[in-house]
Amino acid sequence: MRVAALYDIHGNLPALEATLSEVDAGGFDAIVVGGDVALGPMPRETLELLSARGPWVRFVRGNCDRDMAAAPDGRPQPGGAWEGRLRWAVEQITPDQRALLGAIPPTLALEIDGLGAVLFCHGTPRSDDEIVTRHTPDDRVLEVLTEVRERVVVCGHTHVQFDRHIGERRLVNAGSVGLPYEGRPGAYWAALGPDVELRRTPYDLERAVQAMRASGFPDADEFTRRELLEPRSAAEATEFFERIAEERVRSQSSI
């Protein structure tokens, strides 16, 4: 089996469409959507496109999927940018799509050619919002993977690709299709089998920005500027996320 791992799409339909075109031409046997699929400017359309492919697409839960499934019913209430975007996205999707998000499993294991058993998760196997980066110390990565029997684990969440070998373990971040922090526009994903290949698919960024600004997504101008037109570099994002992870570790150790 060969698998295309598409993570952190975040409702960026143009990026997903371009990626699927490349995946369709690549002879893959399955797609794993690794979490945070819909919270973004085109949530309903993104889920429709993926769901139309039936069992060929397998889903893994991300923290944003969990938040959308659990959000209170009713019209959006006053709040910060995150809360406004969350409520807006929930209002755009159908009840069936919301039920789909709520039923997504936190992990998925597949047997992949050349790699053997591979475990897919969003943040880490034990939490969909736990952070590991390309600079996370080896001992902490191994501690995160202590209960995992698979030697290869594929994650996302930080929107930065990496492929780390730590002893006999291999931790891969597939990157982000919709909102990458890589210093260069494109949709970032991973091809698995018989090895791991970190890929980038170009797409029409300006068309995507125009579509997002016309979608009704809250604060779309600011969102597209910060997340697509002027995103963090991989180094900046890694430093930012690693700082958060270290603060969490210190906080937990003080309890």
- Summarised one tens digit per residue, pLDDT across range 55-69 is 999 999 999 999 999
> For residue 31, what are the β-bridge partners?
4, 57
Residue 41, φ and ψ in degrees, nearest 5:
-70, -25
pLDDT for residue 254 is more than 90: no
Question: Does position 40 have pLDDT exceeding 50, yes or no?
Answer: yes
For residue range 162-211, list pLDDT tens digits in order: 999 999 999 999 999 999 999 999 999 999 999 999 999 999 999 999 99
- pLDDT, residue 74, reads 47
- From the list 160, 32, 158, 216, the residue with the least C-alpha distance to 19 is 32
Give 33's pLDDT tier (boundaries 50, 70, 90).
very high
User: Is-contact 189 201, C-beta < 8 A?
Assistant: yes
Per-residue tokens: 149: 């029997």
pLDDT tens column, 69-95: 998 764 444 455 678 999 999 999 999
Nearest CA among 35, 16, 187, 242 for reference residue 121: 35
pLDDT at residue 113 tops 80: yes
Domains and their CATH numbers in the chain: 3-253 (3.60.21.10)
Mean pLDDT, to the nearest integer, of 104-128? 98
Tell whether the model's pLDDT for residue 160 goes beyond 80: yes
Is the Cβ–Cβ distance between 129 and 101 less than 8 Å?
Answer: no
pLDDT value of residue 76: 44
- Do the beta carbons of residue 87 and residue 43 sit within 8 Å? no
| Whole-number pLDDT of residue 185 | 94
223 sits in which H/E element: helix 220-224
Phi-psi region of 107 (alpha: psi -120 to 50; beta: other; left: phi over 0): beta
Averaged pLDDT for residues 3-18: 98
pLDDT at residue 71, rounded to an integer: 86
Task: Give the rounded percent of residues in the chain with a pLDDT score beyond 90.
Answer: 91
Arithmetic mean of pLDDT over the chain: 94
> Which residues are CB-neighbours of 160 under 8 A, at least 6 positions away?
133, 134, 173, 175, 176, 180, 181, 182, 234, 237, 238, 241
Gap between the Cα atoms of 69 and 169, Å rounded: 33
Query: What per-residue confidence (pLDDT) applies to 255?
Result: 57
Three-state DSSP class for residue 237: helix
185-219 as b/e: b if 16+ CB within 10 A: bbbbbbbbbeebebbbbebebeebbebbeebebbe
Burial 55-78 (b: 16+ CB within 10 A, else e): eebbbbbbbbbbbbbebeeeebee
- In this prediction, residue 249 carries a pLDDT of 83
> Residue 75: what pLDDT?
47
